[in-house]
């Protein structure tokens, strides 16, 4: 496991970059009025809030390197919130694509460029995180993977809308991303439950041996 101070500094740096990219998406939405970039902005801002929780959870892990129940709960509930929030945001985007096509059908180069840029940045940041023996680092990486998927989905939708004018593709991509997020969170929580069981048993064992000394 890497130095906890380095992990905290990295997550703070990632949070700052994530907020910067989110700000660019907000500016892109303002100029293009695209529901695609609005969805990206909402997802990015929400991810930033949840990564802030993971920073708190990582601090808890540093105070109890072997096992901290609160740290596990922070990672778990922030992941559940990720699935719920992503579902709401992406459903809003998909509904808008199906109903209010006049707004979505914005043929602007900003949409694919910002979408692909955000996806690439989030993907790079996700792989920069050392997730070994840290549930909150793993949770933060999941959020960046989701942000990357949303960004690439926006880029693909933006390209098709720009060249062919087919806004309903956004609804299909949004539905696919929502399914991916829910399944990824389900698998992550299942894995985290097993990790917490092992950490709890090791903690109980250590307390037992300490009591016998």
Which domains are assigned to the chain? 4-212 (1.20.1510)
pLDDT value for 196: 61
Mean pLDDT of the chain: 79
Residue whose token pair is 């969170």? 185
Residue 70 gets which letter from DSSP?
H
pLDDT tens digit sequence for 56-70: 999 888 876 566 788
Q: Which two tokens stand for residue 89?
A: 């945001």
Q: In the structure, what pLDDT confidence band is assigned to residue 34 with cuts at 50, 70 and 90?
A: confident
Q: Which two tokens stand for residue 84?
A: 């719920």
Number of Cβ within a 10 Å radius of residue 180: 17
Question: Which H or E run includes 58?
Answer: helix 35-63
Q: Which two tokens stand for residue 188?
A: 């992550």
Range picked from 27-31, 106-110, 144-148 for highest mean pLDDT: 144-148
Lowest-pLDDT range, 102-106, 165-169, 179-183, 187-191? Answer: 102-106
CB 148 within 8 A of CB 45: no
């Amino acid at each position: 496991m890497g130095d906890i101070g380095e992990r905290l500094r990295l997550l703070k740096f990632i949070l700052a970059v994530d907020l910067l990219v989110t700000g660019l998406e907000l500016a892109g939405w303002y100029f293009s009025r695209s529901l695609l970039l609005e969805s990206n902005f909402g997802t990015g801002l929400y991810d930033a809030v949840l990564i802030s929780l993971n920073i708190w959870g990582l601090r808890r892990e540093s105070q109890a390197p072997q096992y901290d129940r609160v740290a596990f709960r922070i990672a778990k509930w922030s992941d559940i919130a990720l699935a719920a929030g992503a579902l709401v945001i992406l459903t809003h985007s998909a509904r808008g694509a199906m109903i209010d096509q006049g707004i979505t059908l914005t043929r602007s180069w900003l949409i694919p460029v910002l979408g692909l840029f955000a996806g690439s940045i989030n993907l790079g940041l996700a792989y920069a995180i050392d997730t070994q023996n840290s549930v909150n680092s793993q949770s933060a990486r999941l959020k960046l993977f989701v942000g990357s998927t949303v960004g690439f989905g926006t880029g693909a939708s933006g390209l098709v809308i720009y060249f062919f004018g087919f806004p309903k593709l956004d609804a299909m991509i949004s539905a696919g991303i929502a399914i991916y997020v829910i399944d990824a969170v389900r698998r992550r929580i299942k894995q985290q439950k097993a990790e917490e069981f092992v950490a709890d048993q090791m903690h109980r064992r250590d307390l037992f041996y300490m009591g016998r000394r």
